[in-house]
Structure 1
């Protein structure tokens, strides 16, 4: 059946490519050639269109259509290269996505290199022998275009590859290429659609572009009416706070169950402030590390404001100690970081915790980023840090004179509310750095232990969540193994998973805890079979070591993905019969007992635009899938870093994602040193 779905998708793709006014954005997406009106006054063209996939379920075929956006620079590659030093052209083009305007046919490509002028560059293909310019204007798609873009003989040659065939290098013109950019926050806001608009636009695209298709000589009838399906909604879990305080989401002052559910997100945060942290372990030494170039008055103010904010959040917090680090080696982040590491070792600060204030160097855009990456990665096993920036702090703090005429730094009243929000967002993340959990579930999950596993680059992350989440263990190992050549498709060797499970569960048993009767692995994305092997091998090892007996233990592996190839959305009519986001906890079944989508960001959460679901599928094991889905949703409600907001992932995967991003990147002492010397050399030559 999967083969039939693929044939059907290919047939639709072939016919869509023949539709006028569309260009292919790759991965089953098509965009209108006319940018949206939102992009008229900015330097970026915003293209709206759609993405689609064919989905087969219970013997029926569905075409899932959702909105898609691409963002391209208004300038051509030729215009951009004029602003760059020639020695930077190669690094700018290599691997960059471009929109290539090949006459009337537009499509996405990957840049490879820059060559000479197309009017001089020789080109031989089949029976053609001439220049690239001659071929483009007489033989290529450009030659027969009704409205060809402007093309000059002086345009440089643009070598590129098609995204689906990365080995075959093609010749083209820089005049016909425009860089495709990522959706930064400002651009993304311009393309947000509320559910009623999203569904109306999707219906429009189906009506305009998906009619009169055929497959194997048979006409396809694709309706514009969205599929209607009854769905169950999972109840929100009650939460446990310090000293036994319970937050019941459905409790209300009126006694009507759920009448105040809309307050649940705010109450999650309020309960933390009212009752303190569930995890009351004593804090280790806490520091605020500031650059020695920062005025002492500002250093004292930072300490004052963050001490006050932390003590409001947790009354057992004893305070930060200020400590300066040397900036003598600026603008070399690699050297500054090495000196900071030496100071940590000399002063025996290993294992302590702190806020690290990244300095602001005027006219230097790369120093703070490099230093941020280095202190988090190179000192990952040495000291536990949360970075904040001097630049951000200066948005709120202003210099002033106190009553004695001394210089101070303070936050003006009109900026205080925004500053408090900034502090709250920072400090809830800092609690995670300290392994401090604000709350847990009031009741145990259906299955005793969930183990989150994820891998990025050459790092594997593990997070063990026992029963109701009061006990959480997580760790990162530097031995993940790639599967293939892409960044995302990574697997973790079964031996590493087995050893980590045995290590953690042995400590758990040695502490006098009961052994879990059920263990479920949560794999971010797609599991590779290693998890199943590791679970079985770990149980065998623990039995061999007489740590556990022969009692039956339920084992399973769930794949959890926050994005899906199938662009599914769900909406429900509100009281005015307008489509609104499905309530958080809505479950859309795909394969009974095997796969579903959970919408976890609808009511009572307020989000801009439309809810995106997570996909949960049973990769292996004999468990009650619906109970496991209930557990996954419950774990998405453990949002420690932003208690008043919805979370896109269950906590074990969320924590790994939060921590692993600090180390799963290419910034090392050696790499940054080479980059910084190159940047400095380029600057001196300009």
Structure 2
């Protein structure tokens, strides 16, 4: 058995060649501008402008204050200056020409070779009339997957993304499958002009410009028909109507039906390209609204886009054969393998996991020595938690515990629910446990503000100053209620939420010799207990009671998980296998990245406090960033560690570095097992491989756990410091085994990032704060904005 990647070799790379010329650039690229982020942004913007204006591939050879670019040597630049408002970048091509050897791309030649080759690949796919693209690297088939269903409301478009990378010294193509959901009806058939103005502003639509389709961002109707709405096309001086321009540009004998039947009196729209604020005009009748995966109409279709390895890899091979077999590069036709790349099968062992009283679970095949089979691990973890001779590994002192319930929930159900919950908590904690009940009146209206006020008023009357517990949300709860309350009350009380509707569904009235009673439905006790057990695990998490830990130390002594969401940052400090694990959240002035001083302050203060409390001194510390790490964050971390070393709190030989963990990647990495009979299946959890010496993938989910689709590995990149990639990958897998909220399941993220993720989702997600605080409806708030002259 071997591992297979969704990666396809370019077999004749040794026959490919290209020559290039370097271009010196003078402009606003000082790395000190905006801590380097602005300089990098300016350089990327310049590359896009050159490529668009000159119609040539452009590669960044080096950055810095005076960057160097590369262009094909056969091209002469038509302009030497480009506007990077308010600055200007000046280009100075060098005289000498250099040649690329595609059989040995590395360093500077790798960046240039992949940029040039990618330009040709994207151009070839843009000319393929069977495809439409949502960005330069992602293409979709024009025929919807569900085209045979003539009663469909939403079209499902399957597509593929591709990326070029160097693997083992040669260029390869990574392919991933992706999907888009688009309404089947044309915009005027589904929405009137009022709805377009009020509900569709900034929504994305698929514009059918003849045989060319592309995504746009709607700004609303222009107020005129397409025969009345006039504009001046780029490169021309005379105005023309949207209708005349469309018919002239894409009409004719081979025009599609939606062009031939275009109504001159249909509404014109204003739109912009995503990421581009230039206003344009178009025809609403050529638009179909694109839908997000969380749309109710899409969610029931989403399963059609979930494919297992046995479909994924053959589909990728088919795409190579049908769409990438006739790509020419400088007169040479690419020979792309239709067989996915194989690599040596490597799987990390499942680490031993320690529970209370020193009880440890070992995973392996030797049952005689007490090892448990991997497929039994989840069941065994749950059993060990409930075992009186084991239990919770890290049991911290408990704060006051509250059970907050709506008055509308039947008294019998409330009392039974609380009793069952307390009993479950006692079994898990193996000590006394009880809630103080707080009852709130259900609001008369279903508005978010009234619901918030009702719950907060009850907490105030109960004189709750601090604590933890359970909140049963009302049957009429607004979707944002739990997020808003968790954010509003985070410094006062933290809680696990239950749904009154779901709880009530477990009960019914029963008539017995004792009279009419409200009891759990027949046959529902087992399911109810499972529901409460998972909720109880959430209460353990809220109370920072860690159910089990890693019996053995991770390769690196301490991990600091970091994630940022909507101007809130969360840090998790993890060491000693999880015996030491706590989290700190802070507000940030930045939406996605943190400033250097803030990272330095949080990490320095928390580590100093930990070290002064008598905890063992870590010899190695890793900052693990969820997603992209920014230069400001890395510098802040580095300065905090260096200060602690200088002050003698950490040893001079302390190893430290930064890694990024990406839940998804442009390459769409997949790692699957190929059996001896040539079949593909999901890999065993713990499967891994290196992409290069600084980047690798680790499957934290997979066999023996069952789930639809193909296991999606984490992509881990070492971006700073002398860290060993295999050690970081193994630590990531080991820490993903601390799936504290669901002992019988697997978890994709390592626990440090999972704690950050859960915390940020509850307090930093898009809760409607205006609605929660002031009770304004969307229409009322929109009218107020117009009344005071706000711009959209």
User: Is the pair's TM-score, using the shorter chain for normalization, greater than 0.5?
Assistant: yes
Aligned residue number for residue 410 of structure 2: 295
Alignment of 1:38-437 (within 5 A): 40=149, 42-82=152-192, 86=194, 88-116=195-223, 117-125=225-233, 126=236, 129-140=239-250, 145-148=255-258, 150-163=261-274, 165-184=275-294, 185-250=299-364, 252-254=366-368, 260-274=373-387, 275-316=390-431, 318-328=433-443, 330-361=445-476, 368-401=478-511, 403-413=513-523, 415-437=524-546
Q: 1:628 offset after TM fit, Å? A: 2.1
CA contact (8 A) 1:399 1:407 kept: yes
Distance (Å, rounded) in 2 between the aligned partners of 1:167 and 1:549: 50
2:31 is equivalent to residue 31 of structure 1: no
1:357 aligned counterpart, secondary structure: strand
Which segment is superposed worse, 128-137 or 229-238?
128-137
Aligned residue number for residue 125 of structure 2: 16
Distance (Å, rounded) in 1 between the aligned partners of 2:152 and 2:702: 32
2:561 is equivalent to residue 452 of structure 1: yes
Gaps of 5+ in 1: 362-366, 483-489
Distance (Å, rounded) in 1 between the aligned partners of 2:158 and 2:244: 33
Q: 1:450 offset after TM fit, Å? A: 0.5
Distance (Å, rounded) in 2 between the aligned partners of 1:330 and 1:430: 30
Distance (Å, rounded) in 1 between the aligned partners of 2:609 and 2:595: 22
Instruction: Give the alignment's TM-score, normalised by structure 2.
Output: 0.78
1:368 aligned counterpart, secondary structure: coil
Distance (Å, rounded) in 2 between the aligned partners of 1:644 and 1:550: 40
CA contact (8 A) 2:452 2:772 kept: no
Q: 1:142 to 1:585 in 2, by over 3 A?
A: farther
Q: 1:317 offset after TM fit, Å? A: 5.1
2:342 aligned counterpart, secondary structure: coil
Q: 1:632 aligns with which of 732, 740, 743?
A: 732
Q: 1:338 to 1:118 in 2, by over 3 A?
A: same
Q: 1:306 to 1:177 in 2, by over 3 A?
A: farther
Distance (Å, rounded) in 2 between the aligned partners of 1:317 and 1:491: 43
CA contact (8 A) 1:283 1:317 kept: no
Aligned residue number for residue 560 of structure 1: 661
Q: 1:317 to 1:170 in 2, by over 3 A?
A: farther
Instruction: Give the alignment's TM-score, normalised by structure 1.
Output: 0.90
Which segment is superposed worse, 581-590 or 532-541?
532-541
Q: 1:568 offset after TM fit, Å? A: 2.1
Alignment: residue pair count = 663
Q: 1:447 offset after TM fit, Å? A: 1.3
Distance (Å, rounded) in 2 between the aligned partners of 1:141 and 1:28: 28
Q: 1:130 offset after TM fit, Å? A: 4.1
Report Cα offsets for 1:471-525 as digits up to 9, x if no partner: 101011012524xxxxxxx211222222222222222223222221111110111
Q: 1:643 to 1:188 in 2, by over 3 A?
A: farther
CA contact (8 A) 1:272 1:438 kept: yes
Q: 1:473 to 1:256 in 2, by over 3 A?
A: closer
Q: 1:584 aligns with which of 677, 681, 685?
A: 685
CA contact (8 A) 1:509 1:547 kept: no
1:381 aligned counterpart, secondary structure: coil
Which segment is superposed worse, 510-519 or 464-473?
510-519
Gaps of 5+ in 2: 1-109, 784-792
Q: 1:39 offset after TM fit, Å? A: 7.8
Report Cα offsets for 1:539-597 as digits up to 9, x if no partner: 343356x56265321111111111111122222223553111122222221112x1111
Distance (Å, rounded) in 2 between the aligned partners of 1:319 and 1:344: 17
Please report the RMSD computed on the Cα atoms of aligned residues, expressed in angstroms. Answer: 2.7
Q: 1:252 offset after TM fit, Å? A: 4.0
Aligned residue number for residue 364 of structure 1: none
Q: 1:597 aligns with which of 681, 684, 697?
A: 697
Distance (Å, rounded) in 1 between the aligned partners of 2:124 and 2:241: 33
Distance (Å, rounded) in 2 between the aligned partners of 1:238 and 1:141: 68
Aligned residue number for residue 721 of structure 2: 621
CA contact (8 A) 1:600 1:613 kept: yes
2:579 is equivalent to residue 465 of structure 1: no
Q: 1:383 offset after TM fit, Å? A: 0.9
Report Cα offsets for 1:300-335 as digits up to 9, x if no partner: 233234334434443325133322123346333224
Distance (Å, rounded) in 1 between the aligned partners of 2:368 and 2:180: 48
CA contact (8 A) 1:458 1:478 kept: yes
1:422 aligned counterpart, secondary structure: helix
Q: 1:141 offset after TM fit, Å? A: 6.6
